[in-house]
Amino acid sequence: MMNKRELELYIHIPFCARKCAYCDFLSFAVPERTYRDYMDKLIEEIYGQSRCFLDSSVTSIFVGGGTPSILPPELVEELFAVIHECFSVAENAEITIESNPGTLTMEKLEVYRESKINRISLGLQSADDHELKFLGRIHTFDDFLKSYQRARQAGFNNISVDLMSALPGQNAHSWKNTLKKVIMLKPEHISAYSLMIEEGTLFYEWYGEEGESGKIDVPVRSILPGDGRNRRMELPPLPDEDTDREIYRLTGSILGAQGYGRYEISNYARPGYECRHNIGYWTGVDYLGLGLGASSYIGGFRYHNVTELREYLSLDLKVAGAAARDIKELTLEEKMEEFMFLGLRMMRGVSGNDFLGRFGRNMWKLYEPVFEKLEKWQLIEINPPWVRLTNHGIDISNRVFGEFLFDHSSHV
């Protein structure tokens, strides 16, 4: 019997209780009655798309958002019943759902377990309630603790906690305090990302592209809707570059000392608990995105679904690919570029043997001038067949990745 092709599924739930001040994801609040309409169309899309993947084995599923845990449990139960009906899901598949502590209940967790979800990703961001409020989060650290304990009580033994550093007003001490509080709970996985000021967010309006503080006063009500206060406050400053670097290095040393291995630039895990779904992204595994705005990469083609809810709800999604937009076939050069800069995000780096097997090209010859330059600058270390970033290379990783872009006016 032939082995089935490996496939990952990403399911997008765009709804949330309130848009956070830093968030540029496709997410928004809607009346609860809209949940049912959306899930009906999502299930229709699953039926329509799954017929194209009968020869595939789903090795990971990630339900992201938005806040998937905002959905009533019966809708999640129905969603997964359809997924398991339509796709061949591997027995050992990693199945993750993102959850917000302000929306997670024991009833929901029990349904998740019954639906074969085996991994919970809890969005904490910070253990400091003042920082949480300024971010626009709907929960407190105490809410998070209760949700975490509920997840353990429900039988989940693979929990990831999302943290965010370089927050307004944050310093190394407050970040260290957040790390220590989370480590005491012994989650299996910790994602620790630095805040990015993205266009289209409240933070972008307040801080601007350069992240400058003190430019405007922010109405407190814009951070805490409905609290009734009208006084204004000065923006807390964003950490400077030196503090940001200190926080980043603190993260690695503190988590490393507690048994968390850094396997990707911003991700740490206990042995055996690395996120298989994300590793698939970084190593070029095909993934199918389902739901509003979800992105896909299938057989060398990249596309995304429509991003307007009204349009998505109006489509006949029984027709495979009806929601797909901006379909683009990647060139050989683009595939090689992505292999390098996505693979170098991982601490193990990229393998010349894997490169040769995938593209039929000698990585060492193709990138010889780049490797020589980056090694001279001590941004990479080479230990054939592997090449990986040094600590300094991680610090300026985007600059390193740019070195692997080809001049597309000529052919490789």
Of the residues 221, 251, 282, the one at which a domain ends: 282
pLDDT above 50 (res 1): no
Contact status, residue 57 vs residue 6, Cβ threshold 8 Å: yes
| Rounded average pLDDT over 253-275 | 97
Alpha helices in 154-240 (DSSP H): 172-183, 202-207, 220-223
Host domain of residue 37: 5-282
> What's the CATH number where 192 sits?
3.80.30.20
pLDDT above 60 (res 223): no
**Cα–Cα distance measured from residue 36 to residue 125, given in angstroms and rounded to the nearest whole number:** 29
14-49 pLDDT, tens digit per residue, is 999 999 989 999 999 999 999 999 999 999 999 999
pLDDT of residue 202: 87
Banded model confidence at residue 206, pLDDT cuts 50, 70, 90 = confident
pTM above 0.85, yes or no: yes
Of the residues 219, 248, 282, the one at which a domain ends: 282
The three-point CA angle 57-63-67 to 5° equals: 175
Banded model confidence at residue 79, pLDDT cuts 50, 70, 90 = very high
> What's the CATH number where 373 sits?
1.10.10.920
Q: How far is CA 160 from the centre of its chain?
A: 12
143 and 15 in a common domain? yes
Of 197-211, 234-248, 258-272, the one with minimum mean pLDDT is: 197-211
pLDDT of residue 208: 79
Q: How far is CA 277 from the centre of its chain?
A: 10
**Cα–Cα distance measured from residue 403 to residue 368, given in angstroms and rounded to the nearest whole number:** 12
pLDDT of residue 73: 98
pLDDT of residue 211: 54
User: Based on C-alpha coordinates, what's the Rg of the chain?
Assistant: 22
**Cα–Cα distance measured from residue 46 to residue 113, given in angstroms and rounded to the nearest whole number:** 21
* Burial of 310 from C-beta contacts in 10 A (0-12 / 13-18 / 19+): exposed
In a domain, 395, yes or no: yes
* Burial of 154 from C-beta contacts in 10 A (0-12 / 13-18 / 19+): middle
pLDDT above 50 (res 124): yes
If one counts the domains in the chain, the total is 2
In a domain, 150, yes or no: yes
| Rounded average pLDDT over 216-245 | 66
| Rounded average pLDDT over 261-266 | 96
